[in-house]
């Protein structure tokens, strides 16, 4: 029986170690992804807890759900409609300032670090949008 050259044995060992390391890496990656999905679901459940609930006088936080990469909080005006509201840009700027403290919450930072943006969408009784305010990771770096 002919003896295998030493380089062939070394090559087989290195290939075997590579396969084992690759399998371990994939298993770890899968575990991290599953953990991240579970964390996102837990954060979503926290935002949804107690809905619907009063957001402010005359406003009701009705729904929190993902729409693509955005976690959208739908806030309904109980008394105003879009046609009578006029320009909402000043209110939108004030609402944006109210969103910035969310950057201090680890769950929000977790979402933002994964490319999720938070949106507050203000609507009237017919689901017409007054305005939307977005919080992205870049807003928290200021």
Distance from C-alpha of 35 to C-alpha of 80, rounded to nearest angstrom: 42
Q: Which two tokens stand for residue 66?
A: 């993902």
Contact between 96 and 119 (Cβ < 8 Å)? no
What pLDDT score does 101 carry?
94
pLDDT in tens, the chain (142 residues): 677 777 777 777 777 777 777 777 777 777 666 666 788 788 888 888 999 999 999 999 999 999 999 999 999 998 887 766 567 778 888 899 999 999 999 989 989 998 999 999 999 988 999 899 999 999 998 6
Contact between 109 and 118 (Cβ < 8 Å)? no
Q: What is the pLDDT of residues 22-41, one digit of tens each?
A: 777 777 777 666 666 788 78
Residue 77's SS3 state is: strand
Kindly list the domain boundaries of the chain, sorted by start residue.
Answer: 1-49, 51-140
The beta-strand segments (E) located in 20-115 are: 53-56, 59-67, 70-77
What pLDDT score does 79 carry?
86
Q: What are phi and psi of 25, to 5 degrees?
A: -60, -45
- Give the architecture-level CATH label for domain 51-140: 2-Layer Sandwich (3.30)
């Amino acid at each position: 029986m002919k003896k295998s050259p030493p380089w062939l044995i070394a090559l087989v060992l290195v290939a075997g170690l590579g396969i084992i390391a690759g399998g371990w890496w994939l298993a770890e990656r899968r575990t991290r992804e599953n953990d991240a999905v579970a964390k996102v679901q837990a954060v979503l459940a926290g935002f949804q807890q107690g809905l619907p609930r009063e957001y402010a006088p005359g406003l009701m936080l009705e729904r929190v759900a993902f729409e693509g990469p955005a976690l959208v909080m739908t806030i309904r005006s109980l008394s105003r409609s879009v046609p009578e509201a006029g320009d909402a840009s000043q209110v939108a700027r004030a609402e944006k300032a109210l969103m910035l403290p969310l950057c201090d919450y680890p769950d929000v930072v977790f979402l933002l670090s994964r490319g999720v943006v938070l949106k507050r969408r203000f609507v009237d009784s017919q689901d017409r949008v007054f305005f939307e305010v977005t919080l992205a990771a870049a807003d928290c770096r200021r």
